Amino acid sequence: MPARSIVTVRQQRLGAELRKLRERAGLTAREAAKAAGIAESKISMTEAGRVGVSAERLRHLASQYACDDPALVDALVAMATERGRGWWEEYRGRVPSGYLDLAELEHHAAHLTNFECVHIPGLLQTEGQVRAIFGASVPKLSEEEIETRVEFRLRRRQALGGMRYLALIHEAALRIRVADRKVARDQLSWLLEREVAVRVVPFDVDGFAGVADPVVYAGGPVRELDTVMVDSQHGSAFLDAEAQLARYREVLRKVESAALGVVESRELIHGLVREW
C-alpha cells in the first residue's frame, strides 16, 4: 500500500491511538512488528497516519496490545475502514487545510460544544456574516477566495443535522457588528429561527474568566476519541491528550455554569433584535 501524500488530522488521530495502545502495552515498535509479523516501518508509518490499516490487522494489533475495551476497538476499526471522500475534499487546495480537518471533525462528531467570545460560531453564521468576516481578512482575500470560503462555511451547516450541538456565545459576540445593523439583525433573527441550543454568557455575570480563543469540543463515538479544536490567529490546534481534554471539559463546564438557560438566552437575543 503506497504512503499517503496528504495525511488528515483524523488519519493522524487513528495512528496516534494505535501508538497509545502499543505504549500502554509496554511494547516498542520493533516488538509490535515482530508480534504482528510485519516490518517495523509498517508500524511506524501506520502510527504516523501515512498508511492505512485493515480491520483485521487493527484487531490483531489491539489483541497484541491487550486492549480490553471492545467499544474503543470497534470505533478505531470504523475509522480505519471509512470509505469514500467527504464533501470537504472538493475544496482541498482551495481553502486552508485546517478548514477541511474541522469539517471532517464536525461530520463525525457524536456531539459538539462550541464556545465563542467574539464571533457567532461558524456553523451558525448567516451568509452576510460570513462574507463580512472574510471580507475583513488580513491579508486581503480575492473575490474568488471569499466566494469559495463563504460557500465552504455554509456547507458545513449540514453537520447540524446529525449530532447534538450546543453553542455557548458571549454577549459580546452578539453585539459586535462585523458589517452593518441589517447584517447584525439578520444574524440574530436567524439564530432565533433555528432549532439549535444557544446559551448566552451575559455581560453582567459575576466571576467569569472564560477563555479567549474559540473552542470546539467534539465528542467521539467513545470518550477516548473526543477532540478539542482551539482556534487562533496563528491557526488551529487539534488536541486529544486526556489531560487536555479534561482541562477543556472543566473550562466548558464553567462557561455553561455562567451562561443563561436556552429560554433566557432567546429572550436576550430577542431584546437585541428589538434594539437594532
DSSP SS3 for 116 = strand
276 pLDDT band, cuts 50/70/90, is confident
Q: Is the pLDDT of residue 234 over 80?
A: no
Where among 80, 107, 138 does a domain terminate? 80
Q: Which CATH number does the domain housing residue 68 bear? A: 1.10.260.40
H/E stretch holding 165 reads strand 164-170
Residue 198: give its domain's CATH number.
3.30.870
Q: Which residue has the cell 496563528?
A: 234
Residue 219 pairs in a beta bridge with 111
The single residue listed with the C-alpha cell 430577542 is 270
147 within a domain of the structure (yes/no): yes
Report whether 146 contacts 135 (CB < 8 A): yes
Local structure of residue 236 (DSSP, 8 states):
E
Q: Give the range of the structural domain holding residue 35, as residue numbers without chain letter.
A: 9-80
Lookup result for grid cell 516490518: 39
- pLDDT attached to residue 236: 87
- Let me know whether 106 and 53 are in one domain: no
Domain termination site, one of 29, 55, 80:
80
Asked, for residue 210, whether it belongs to a domain, the answer is yes
Q: Are residues 159 and 263 in the same domain?
A: yes
Q: What is the pLDDT of residues 1-33, one digit of tens each?
A: 678 999 999 999 999 999 999 999 999 999 999
Domain count, the chain: 2
Average pLDDT over residues 196-225: 92
How do residues 65-112 score in pLDDT, each as one tens digit? 999 999 999 999 999 999 888 999 999 999 999 999 999 999 999 999
pLDDT, averaged across the chain: 95
**Among 80, 107, 131, residue at a domain's last position:** 80
Residue 19 lies in a domain: yes
Residue 85 lies in a domain: no
